[in-house]
Chains A and B, each alone.
Chain A
Amino acid sequence: MAKVLVFIDNPGQALKKASLELLTIARSLGEPAVAFNGELHGGVAEALAAYGAQALYRPSAADLDDYLVGPKAAYLAAAVQAAGATIVLTENSAEAKEIAARLGIRLGAGVITDVVAVEPGGTAHKSVLAGSYTTTANATTPVAVLTVKPNSITPEPAVTGTAPATVTVDVPETAVAASARITSRTEKAASGRPDLGEARIVVAGGRGVDGNFGPLEDLADALGAAVGASRAATDAGWIGHDAQIGQTGKTVAPQLYISAGISGAIQQKAGMQTAKVIVAVNKDAESPIFEIADFGIVGDLFKVLPQATEEIKKRRG
């Protein structure tokens, strides 16, 4: 059976849903093991066992977070060798993709990013050219490295749990030599709303919001949604850059995307046009966003959104 190694960088106090998805996919492909970096809290160890991890690998070095990408790739390459893995799964964040990139060179392994599904034989499904094509791809090398988007599968624990042993993997001394150092870190304030990449519903605003995201936040909270934005809104400084959706921001594929005061430029569409249902509110009937909206309202977002929020609250009593 294929050995599948899931990389989890800093699992924290509890595993993210995206990590549970990777473990679920790993079990469908073969025998799962986990390589992590950072601390392993009790609850996380229990979850890894419940999801069927056969072995856990940890780095001999505790300072991998002080460097950008290179040393983590060196560690992961050593872990893949220790595990004898032929498939490596990581999340699809910018940093995880870069770790996968360098791991690929170290192992002579093909890397496929933005994967949304993996067949039992390892064939990966993804969409390309801003969601205009869906493709299947394979790594032609002995080892395949796949970075998988969140919300690709429903996480399920294993039928029978495991009691995995932890193995320490030696990180080569040379790993940090030609590396950039992270000299300071500023944590960003958490919004308390769902993570944009994982949210089931996204409410996004653009230049039409004119500096006031209040009506969008109210609607988002009524729906349990995340708040996103166009680049015009993030460039104006009305909301953080991490809320940007599009070619140079995040790609989201929620069940529902509500776009308000956004014209629908090609670079914005690149990040949202694979959403299941798109609702658009824009005062300009000629706006290109209406070409892809399942439900479009030609109107003023400052009137339409508050009314919708009220109606939702009323229905919920």
Chain B
Amino acid sequence: MTVCCIFDQGSRTALFDDAMSQVSALAAEKGNAFESIALDRNEVAACTGCLRCWTMQTRECVSRDALGDLSRHKKICGMVIYLTPVIFGSMISPVKNAWDKDAHLFANADRMKVVIGYGDTIDDEEESTFLDTITRHRGSADVVHPDKKEDIKVFVTTSGGDIRAICQEIRKVM
């Protein structure tokens, strides 16, 4: 399968490089194709919540932005990994925009999503907020799309040691 990693190109840190390197190595080790997609915060439009992608069954966003091509691309991915700094207990805006649209554009897609939040100074409250809000999308907990089949795994890392442990978990489902 193809593993697609989405991240904000303005948020590259040493920890990010470490995570990207280990995740891509894991994908290669498991015989998967790996693609990384950098998002530019100036070229990604936020979801307006119009739900046309869902109600009109187009599975395409009305916004003409960098995520348009990405949407078509992601449909062929068996696993999508969101790599984002943790900001106010959430994802950074370009990644959050992709995530918000993802929920509707691929509502019935049978695939795995992995979210890795990183940062050198993530406090306990931010970490628990990040894990809790994202984990709520798992399985039948999603009230908008109760028939959703995809699974979601969420992690937070503040060190290279964490990333090694996270990759061990991803290895089990890749």
Is B a genuine binding partner of A? no
